[in-house]
Structure 1
Amino acid sequence: MAVTVQVDTAHPVGTLINVFTVSPDRQDELITLLARATDETLRRQPGFICANFHASLDGERVINYAQWETSEHYRAMLANPEARVHMDQATKIATDVQPRLFEVRSAHYRA
C-alpha cells in the first residue's frame, strides 16, 4: 500500500529531518540500515506515519524525512530500547548526525 506524504499546515504533524554525514563508501550501508530499522521497528511505533531516505549525489549525506502524528510520539520512540539499538548503529556508520523536529509553516504545490 503506497502512502503519500502529507505536507499540510492545516493538519500539523511532528516532522523529523535528520541529516547524516557519511563517507561516500558507506552511504548505501546507512540507507540500508535505516530502511531495515524502519521496516522492522519504527513503523510499528505508535504515531508513526512515514519515513523517507534521501541520498545526496556527492555521497556525503543521507537525509531522513519522517512524519509522526505528534512530536510526543517521536520522543516516545526515542525512549524505546528497541528503536535505540537501530539509532545507535546508525551513529556508528555516520560521522555526524543532526536530528531536528520541525513544524510545517508553509506548503506550496504546482498550479
Structure 2
Amino acid sequence: MSETVIRTGDGTFAMVNVFEVEPDKQQELAEVLTESADKFIRHRPGCISVNILTSLDGTRVTYFAQWQRKSDIKATMSDPDVQVGRDKAAKLAKPDPHAYTVFSVHHPES
C-alpha cells in the first residue's frame, strides 16, 4: 500500500464513507473496517491507500480510501470478501459512502 497523498489533477479517486456510530461501538467499528482493509481491500487492484479515522466525540468513523480508477472501487465493492466486512460495519453504524475527486488542496505558506 502506498502513502496517502491528496492532490488535484492526478486522476485518482477517493471513496469516503462516514459512519454515524454510537460512542460505545466506535472502537469495534474501527476494528472491523481496519481488519477488512488489511485482509482484503489493500490487496485489490488499483488500491492506493486505506485510512480509518475516528472522531474525537466518538460518534463517527470515516473510511477514506484512494483508488487509481473509479472502476477499481466498483470491482472491490462487488468482491464477496469485502461485502462481508461491509455488512459487519453496517450492523454497527449507518454508512454514507460516496466516491470523490479532489477539487482543491490548500497548505500554509512556508
- Identity among equivalent positions (%) equals 35
- State the partner residue of 2:31: 32
Letter in 1 for 2:12: V
Q: TM-score, normalised by structure 1?
A: 0.92
Tell me the secondary structure at the aligned position of residue 66 of structure 1.
Answer: strand
Tell me the secondary structure at the aligned position of residue 84 of structure 1.
Answer: helix
Number of residues of Structure 1 aligned to a counterpart in Structure 2: 109
Structure 1 residue 110 displacement after superposition: 2.8
What is the aligned-residue RMSD (CA, Å)?
A: 1.2
Structure 1 residue 29 displacement after superposition: 0.3
The equivalences for 1:36-75 within 5 A come to 36-75=35-74
Structure 1 residue 82 displacement after superposition: 1.1
- State the partner residue of 2:100: 102
Q: Deviations over 1:31-87 (max 9, x none)?
A: 011111111111111111111111111111001111011111000001111111110
Letter in 1 for 2:99: L
4+ runs of 1 displaced by more than 3 Å? none
Letter in 1 for 2:76: M
Following the alignment from structure 1 to structure 2, what is the Cα–Cα distance between the partners of residues 64 and 15?
10
Q: TM-score, normalised by structure 2?
A: 0.93
Unaligned runs of 5+ in 1: none
Letter in 1 for 2:32: L
- State the partner residue of 1:76: 75
Is 1:12 matched with 2:11?
yes
